[in-house]
Structure 1
């Protein structure tokens, strides 16, 4: 392995979990997320060898991943929803199956959010970026990101509560 490859890996591999978590929330399956992560690192490597190197790798890789994920979504031109079974009611006690169902409900609710809100919530709540970092990644003002996160969290809570209580979904 060359010195450039080693420096690239040393700089970017600590952000691999962040990139995968972001990719997983942008795609419908784990296999699609793995493909998106691979494409992200391929693009990052191409930029790296062209001399475009970031000060901080995680936001740089997240930006590449987000842009590639958006391109994929645009190409599909449809947004697949995960349907919930009629009369869905998660179990009352905490167990592995109940946790899995709750996770599926939250994932489905997350995918129902408008794209801007979903991305803001993913970047801040799931990937751990600050509002300023999320703003830089998305190219939006910090206040806009905070508004999107607030509205996204509110809509997520409302959707999850509706599913839990069997209320009709809008």
Structure 2
């Protein structure tokens, strides 16, 4: 069974950006492991709860087929997190799906892996994407090479399907 790691803030992540792609992946026989800056219970913006079983610094890219950065206000803790940025680079260099939804796209931009890549993000992150060298499109979903970006909660299902398809 393939495994995907979801990098999720300990609080104020966007609930549906987590549980919709997770369900799509699990329905496709993909195991989803949640990593964060702490283990234990994580709380979404609207009260959804999940559990982190892995610290972000302990994520080994060799153990996973893809990495997914979950959006929401809380994801800003990863914008300059050295572990989050290194992981984005490691997955990208291994040509594994490297995905972000909503404002979490800023993580990929700050990791330096969006240079010349068509990408999208929640509108608040537009300037960070452009500064990171991305070709910002504003579309709901962008797939270019092994980079998958989506702009927010309304794109969560299509985002989940795109990540699943990238693992085939």
Scaled to the shorter chain, the TM-score interval is under 0.3
Larger radius of gyration: 1
Structure number having the greater strand percentage: 2
Q: TM-score by structure 2 length?
A: 0.27
Q: TM-score by structure 1 length?
A: 0.27
